[in-house]
């Protein structure tokens, strides 16, 4: 292309516009001559590296998905503890008529160390927890 081929789009142009256009064309031509494509071996090596990275990330994603699926399956089939009641149990009525349950307010339902509770669950000789089975021998 010669300098006479260029026509500015905005009018006839001045001498400064023509000089600028000529300088731009020269810069473009010299950059075009200096630009060289990368060797084919280098381009192939970069492509191989990229493929390896893509495969590695796909393998890592697959491992994460499989591991989370195994964890979910293990947690789903793991036996769970029975659900606890939402409130403490109310007073029980004993089937054993020998030892009726104490009247309300007669003692603590849960023995504590400060109240002098014995390991058998009695406070001062009276039972705090009613028995649900008949005693094997009569108290003596």
Does 116 reside within a domain? no
Say yes or no to pLDDT of 85 above 80.
Answer: no
Burial of 130 (0-12, 13-18, 19+ CB in 10 A): middle
Integer angstrom CA distances of residue 34 from 20, 40, 120: 21, 18, 100
Q: 71 is written with which tokens?
A: 């964890």
Asked whether residue 135 is domain-assigned, the answer is no
The answer to whether residue 62 sits within a structural domain is yes
Considering the entire predicted model, what is its pTM? 0.36
What mean pLDDT comes out for the span 51-71?
A: 98
CA distance 119 to 111: 9
Mean pLDDT throughout 20-30? 92
| Mean per-residue pLDDT, 40-56 | 97
Residue 79 counted as domain residue: no
Look at residue 70 and tell me whether its pLDDT is greater than 90: yes
pLDDT at 37 over 60: yes
pLDDT value for 4: 56
118 domain residue, yes or no: no
- Residue 66 lies in domain: 42-71
| pLDDT beyond 80 at 101 | no
| Domain annotation covers residue 64 | yes
Tell me, yes or no, whether 52 lies in a domain.
yes
pLDDT of residue 79: 79
| Alpha helices, DSSP H, located in the chain | 15-34, 40-77
Q: Report the alpha-carbon distance of residue 38 to residue 46 in Å, rounded.
A: 11
| Total domains present in the chain | 1
Residue 63 located in a structural domain: yes
């Amino acid at each position: 292309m010669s300098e006479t081929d260029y026509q500015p789009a905005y009018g006839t142009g001045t001498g400064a516009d023509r000089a600028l256009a000529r300088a731009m064309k020269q810069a473009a031509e010299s950059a075009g001559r200096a630009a060289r494509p990368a060797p084919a071996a280098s381009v192939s090596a970069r492509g191989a590296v990229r493929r390896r990275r893509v495969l590695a990330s796909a393998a890592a994603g697959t491992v994460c998905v499989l591991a989370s699926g195994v964890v979910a399956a293990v947690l789903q089939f793991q036996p769970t503890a029975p659900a606890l009641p939402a409130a403490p149990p109310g007073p029980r009525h004993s089937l054993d008529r020998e030892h009726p349950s104490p009247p309300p307010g007669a003692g603590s339902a849960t023995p504590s160390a400060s109240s002098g509770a014995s390991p058998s669950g009695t406070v001062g000789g009276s039972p705090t927890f009613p028995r649900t089975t008949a005693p094997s021998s009569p108290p003596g």
